[in-house]
Amino acid sequence: MKILLTGTTGYIGQRLLLALLKSGHHVVCCVRDTQRFDVSKYGHSKIELVEVDFLKIIPYIKLQPSALTAYGEECTGTWLCLYMLLCSEG
């Protein structure tokens, strides 16, 4: 299966990535900065990186939920391990 994984750089996301790869899945990893994610650390060719900053697109997704599908059009499964702490000024 081809799996879309958000929160890849987080504690749970990294462990889930390893489990998915061990199970033979191809994983599309959503990361904020592709330069800061070391794919070679996993020694696997079944990783695809997608650079996306959810802090910038969350307001858009609330208005247009289908916006997220562009990141995983060919994926057959999704794991959302995204955790965000949003603070408002005021």
The CATH number for 43's domain is: 3.40.50.720
Residue-range definition of the domain harbouring residue 36: 2-80
Residue 90 makes CB contacts below 8 A (sequence gap 6+) with none
Most confident of 21-25, 29-33, 63-67: 21-25
Q: Is residue 86 part of a domain?
A: no
Question: What strands lie across the sheet with 2-6, from one edge to the other?
Answer: 47-51, 26-31, 2-6, 77-80
pLDDT > 90? residue 67: no
Q: What is the DSSP letter of 34?
A: G
Q: Is residue 88 part of a domain?
A: no
> End-to-end distance of the chain based on CA atoms, in angstroms?
45
pLDDT tier, 88 (very low <50, low <70, confident <90, very high otherwise): low
pTM: 0.74
For the segment 29-46, what is each residue's pLDDT rounded down to a tens digit? 988 888 988 999 888 789
CA–CA distance, 44 with 21 (Å, rounded to integer):
8
Q: Is residue 85 part of a domain?
A: no
Number of domains in the chain: 1
Q: Is residue 62 part of a domain?
A: yes
Residue 12 makes CB contacts below 8 A (sequence gap 6+) with 81
Q: Is residue 25 part of a domain?
A: yes
Q: Is residue 90 part of a domain?
A: no
